[in-house]
A and B are shown apart, each in its own frame.
Chain A
Amino acid sequence: GAVVSQHPSWVICKSGTSVKIECRSLDFQATTMFWYRQFPKQSLMLMATSNEGSKATYEQGVEKDKFLINHASLTLSTLTVTSAHPEDSSFYICSVGDGYSYEQYFGPGTRLTVT
Chain B
Amino acid sequence: KNQVEQSPQSLIILEGKNCTLQCNYTVSPFSNLRWYKQDTGRGPVSLTIMTFSENTKSNGRYTATLDADTKQSSLHITASQLSDSASYICVVSLNTGGFKTIFGAGTRLFVKA
* Binding partners A and B: yes
Contacting residues of chain A (19-74) with chain B, CB-CB under 8 angstroms: 32, 34, 41-45, 49
B86-99 vs A: 1/0 string, CB under 8 Å? 00010001000011
Interface residue B41 (Cβ < 8 Å from any Cβ of A): yes
Chain A neighbourhood of B93, CB < 8 A: 102
How far is it, in angstroms, between the C-alpha of A97 and the C-alpha of B93 when the chains are bound? 13
Per the CB 8 Å criterion, the residue count for chain B at the interface is 19
Q: Are B44 and A102 in contact (CB under 8 A)?
A: no
Which residue of chain A lies nearest to B108 when distances are taken between CB atoms in the complex? A41
Q: Are B46 and A1 in contact (CB under 8 A)?
A: yes
Q: Are B108 and A109 in contact (CB under 8 A)?
A: no
Interface residue A84 (Cβ < 8 Å from any Cβ of B): no
- Tell whether A43 pairs with B101 under 8 Å between CB atoms, given A109-B41, A109-B42, A111-B41: no
Per the CB 8 Å criterion, the residue count for chain A at the interface is 24
Q: Are B43 and A107 in contact (CB under 8 A)?
A: yes
Q: Are B99 and A43 in contact (CB under 8 A)?
A: no
Q: Are B106 and A104 in contact (CB under 8 A)?
A: no
Interface residue A93 (Cβ < 8 Å from any Cβ of B): yes
Q: Are B31 and A102 in contact (CB under 8 A)?
A: yes
Chain A neighbourhood of B31, CB < 8 A: 102
Interface residue B45 (Cβ < 8 Å from any Cβ of A): yes
Chain B neighbourhood of A97, CB < 8 A: 99
Q: Are B89 and A32 in contact (CB under 8 A)?
A: no
Q: Are B43 and A43 in contact (CB under 8 A)?
A: no
Interface residues of B (CB under 8 A from A): 31, 36, 41-46, 49, 89, 93, 98-99, 101, 103-106, 108
6 further A-B pairs in the complex, CB-CB below 8 A; given A44-B89, A106-B45, A108-B43: A42-B105, A43-B105, A43-B106, A44-B44, A106-B36, A107-B43
